[in-house]
Amino acid sequence: MRLSQMLFVTLREDPAEAEIPSHKLLLRAGYIRRIGSGIYAYLPLMWRVLQKVSQIVREEMNAAGAQECLLPQLQPSELWKESGRWETYTKAEGIMFSLIDRQERELGLGPTHEEVITTVAKDMIRSYRQLPVNLYQIQTKFRDEIRPRFGLMRGREFIMKDAYSFNEDEASLQKSYEAMDRAYRNIISRCGLAYRAVEADSGAIGGSASQEFMILAEAGEDEVLYTEDGKYAANIEKAVSLPKDLEISPFTAYEKKETPDSNTIEKVCQSLQCSPTNIVKNVLYEAVYDNGKTVLILVSIRGDQEVNEVKLNNELVKLAPQYQASTLLALSVPDENAQKKWANKPLPLGYISPSLEDDYIASGESIEGQFLRIVDQTAVDLENFVTGANETNYHVIGANWGQEFQLPKLVSDIRTAMVGDRSVHDPSQILASARGIEVGHIFQLGTKYSQAMGATFTDENGAEKPIVMGCYGVGVSRLAQASVEQSYDKDGIIWPVAITPYHAIIIVPNIKDKNQMEVAQNLYNQLNKIGVETLLDDRDERAGVKFKDADLIGIPYRVVTGRSLKAGKVEVVTRQTKESQEIEVTNLVETLKNWLKNIKSS
Ligand code: ATP
Ligand code: MG
């Protein structure tokens, strides 16, 4: 492509709308333009990158035995009602765009395709002989993200590869899952990125085992905890660990103490001269279930620990049947306004004890009259502990479970694992932390969707069984931007050869110089002919501007038909290292071809 004929617009200044380097660079270099919140146009250079990523994804999926298809983006609400996700996706999480057509039918714009694919499977799969199968598509997804940001990283319209496997049993699912695991590793390595595979929370989608693939980068929205021995890595939402050792309590007898103005753990420690590990902290949460019921939760956890709201959320979803509900709509720490809706009298905030009386809760049909009390193991282990006295400005010391306080029946791991904690698999290993960008996620779904939607098959013995499913997603557009986040310098983007929009750019410093133009055009034709995708910068611009633009857009090799032509040579600069060398014009094509071949096969 000739730059003189391209829609090629670069910006010298960082656009105000962008916060992280990859977003700034993609905007500045003319790869993307913002159309609305979380909505972007992929311009020609970006589209080439996205097609290359898609092609790598396609090749690896095909090699793993999956088949490509294309499913509808407009999805009838009935399917989502069958699976039980319509309410959660349109209201609770609110992530699905929904609409009503002119026949008054409700539709959703596909944020994911479990419902559609399970419907297809229900219609078409009859026998174990048809299993296993794995279908995938590469397509635009729609999600009404609460905080669209960072350009293509968290868009409201983005490109995803999603695959769904159908298996006859868990063992077969395990094999499909492992094949996808390998395919994902190949995809990310082939794209030239450094990544880590981590244990992940399965969230609202349901199912059991799941793993995420994280591109390591400072700007990543996710936190990963891992050990140096390489044997443990997990998203912090899911991570487990051994908490730090507790200090022996300095208190031996139960007593109520005045602790003025001590409504934080830090202030309590100062006021009572104790360690945060001596304290049972009690945190209030408010949950709203899909039947409209509000449940107040009192979580007791050791003073130096934090509640993991993802784990708490999962626990509450499990408890839904207990409240005649099927799922959770919202979980929050109630602020003053929220408290007013259900509290009979002012709560002793900052001084709450594990036995906060149920009579704080006003009676009402949609409010559960008793606190759901959950205790984390870190608090169970405490003796002679400090905790609130249910009275502002007072704490108790030297308290014990089974004496002054009844231990809640529900003991559950709801704590956040922390950097510096010891690992469960080997306590000599200490958890370290890294930031990551989630580019892929693979799930073992089990029979959640097949059971809900009646997708069954007949097994070898003639018995009818629900199909066992897995689902596997790659964020194609997010991955492309993540590559920039991992590979850039002060001058611009540095694309890995595998997904660069073009391999080489030929710069003609002075287009009025006939010789410069002629050599450039010749090389341009020859390179493109043998598959070295090449741009020709034949714009009527200063050489300096052209060099800057070439660096900014990040093409791996820059060829300059400048002064060295007198000696029959061109200058070749490698974008990544900035190394420059002069190469005989007659050897240029062969040299570039070899360099690219070596990189591709390494
Ligand atoms: P996240 O936790 O980042 O919101 P998710 O867990 O909801 O993502 P999945 O449903 O697992 O995402 O989707 C599969 C892949 O699609 C993700 O691994 C990610 O790479 C990509 N993806 C998800 N949401 C977005 C988005 N809003 N913009 C761009 N890519 C996305
Ligand atoms: Mg995910």
Tens digits of per-residue pLDDT, 231-273? Answer: 999 999 999 999 999 999 999 999 999 999 999 999 999 999 9
Please indicate, yes or no, whether residues 64 and 116 belong to a single structural domain of this protein.
Answer: yes
Q: How many domains does the chain have?
A: 3
How far does residue 153's CA lie from ligand 1's centre (Å)? 9
Count Cα atoms within 13 angstroms, Cβ side, for 430. 4
Residue nearest to atom 26 of ligand 1 (CA): 154
**In DSSP terms, which residues pair with 574 in a beta bridge?**
557
Residue 423 is given by DSSP the state: P
C-beta 113 within 6 A of ligand 1: no
Using 50, 70 and 90 to split pLDDT, how confident is the model at 222? very high
Which of 63-72, 159-168, 195-204 is predicted least confidently? 195-204
CATH number of the domain to which 63 belongs: 3.30.930.10
C-beta 440 within 6 A of ligand 1: yes
Q: Which ligand is nearest to the CA of 151?
A: 1
How far does residue 472's CA lie from ligand 2's centre (Å)? 10
Q: If DSSP codes are grouped into helix, strand and coil, which group holds residue 225?
A: strand
Q: Which of 424, 457, 484 is the last residue of a domain?
A: 484
Please indicate, yes or no, whether residues 511 and 475 belong to a single structural domain of this protein.
Answer: no
Residue 220 domain-assigned? no
Distance CA 317, CA 600 (A): 47
Residue 432 domain-assigned? no
Please indicate, yes or no, whether residues 461 and 587 belong to a single structural domain of this protein.
Answer: no
Please indicate, yes or no, whether residues 262 and 407 belong to a single structural domain of this protein.
Answer: yes
How far does residue 55's CA lie from ligand 2's centre (Å)? 22
Using 50, 70 and 90 to split pLDDT, how confident is the model at 471? very high
Average pLDDT over residues 318-337: 91
Residue 442 domain-assigned? no
Task: Let me know the angle formed at the C-alpha of 429 by 425 and 435, rounded to the nearest 5 degrees.
Answer: 100
Please indicate, yes or no, whether residues 293 and 339 belong to a single structural domain of this protein.
Answer: yes
**In DSSP terms, which residues pair with 213 in a beta bridge?**
197, 440
**In DSSP terms, which residues pair with 507 in a beta bridge?**
537, 560
Residue 353 domain-assigned? yes
- Among 97, 221, 438, residue to substitute to test ligand 1 (most atoms within 8 Å of Cβ): 438
Residue 408 is given by DSSP the state: P
Judged against a pLDDT cut of 60, whether residue 28 lies above it is answered with yes
Residue nearest to atom 2 of ligand 1 (CA): 438
CATH number of the domain to which 545 belongs: 3.40.50.800
pLDDT at res. 326: 85
pLDDT tens digits for range 402-443? 999 999 999 999 999 999 999 999 999 999 999 999 999 999
How far does residue 11's CA lie from ligand 1's centre (Å)? 29
Q: Which ligand is nearest to the CA of 153?
A: 1
List, in sequence order, the alpha helices (H) in 160-207. Answer: 170-190
pLDDT at res. 242: 96
Please indicate, yes or no, whether residues 345 and 272 belong to a single structural domain of this protein.
Answer: yes
Q: How much of the chain exceeds pLDDT 70, in percent?
A: 99
Of 335, 297, 300, nearest to 316 by C-alpha is 297
pLDDT tens digits for range 178-189? 999 999 999 999
Please indicate, yes or no, whether residues 478 and 514 belong to a single structural domain of this protein.
Answer: no
pLDDT at res. 327: 82
Residue 429 domain-assigned? no
Q: How much of the chain exceeds pLDDT 90, in percent?
A: 92
Q: Which ligand is nearest to the CA of 200?
A: 2
Distance CA 368, CA 361 (A): 8
Task: Please list all protein residues whose beta carbon sits less than 5 angstroms from ligand 2, which is an ion.
Answer: 441
Residue 423 domain-assigned? no
Residue 503 is given by DSSP the state: S
C-beta 111 within 6 A of ligand 1: no
Strands 157-167 and 133-142: antiparallel
Average pLDDT over residues 373-393: 97
Judged against a pLDDT cut of 70, whether residue 332 lies above it is answered with yes
Judged against a pLDDT cut of 90, whether residue 93 lies above it is answered with no
How far does residue 441's CA lie from ligand 1's centre (Å)? 8
Q: Which of 412, 429, 458 is the last residue of a domain?
A: 412
Residue nearest to atom 12 of ligand 1 (CA): 441
pLDDT at res. 601: 63
pLDDT at res. 207: 54
Please indicate, yes or no, whether residues 468 and 362 belong to a single structural domain of this protein.
Answer: no
Distance CA 180, CA 186 (A): 10
Average pLDDT over residues 62-66: 98
Residue 552 domain-assigned? yes
Please indicate, yes or no, whether residues 270 and 156 belong to a single structural domain of this protein.
Answer: no
pLDDT at res. 602: 60
pLDDT tens digits for range 107-141? 999 999 999 999 999 999 999 999 999 999 999 99
Please indicate, yes or no, whether residues 403 and 459 belong to a single structural domain of this protein.
Answer: no
pLDDT at res. 92: 77
Please indicate, yes or no, whether residues 280 and 131 belong to a single structural domain of this protein.
Answer: no
Please indicate, yes or no, whether residues 473 and 359 belong to a single structural domain of this protein.
Answer: no
How far does residue 473's CA lie from ligand 2's centre (Å)? 8
Q: Which ligand is nearest to the CA of 111?
A: 1
List, in sequence order, the alpha helices (H) in 435-498. Answer: 448-453, 476-486
Which structural domain, as residue segments, surrounds residue 527?
Answer: 502-601
Summary mean pLDDT of the chain: 95
Of 404, 401, 405, 391, nearest to 258 by C-alpha is 391
Judged against a pLDDT cut of 80, whether residue 343 lies above it is answered with yes
Judged against a pLDDT cut of 60, whether residue 206 lies above it is answered with no
pTM, to two decimals: 0.91
C-beta 145 within 6 A of ligand 1: yes
pLDDT at res. 417: 97
Residue 468 domain-assigned? yes
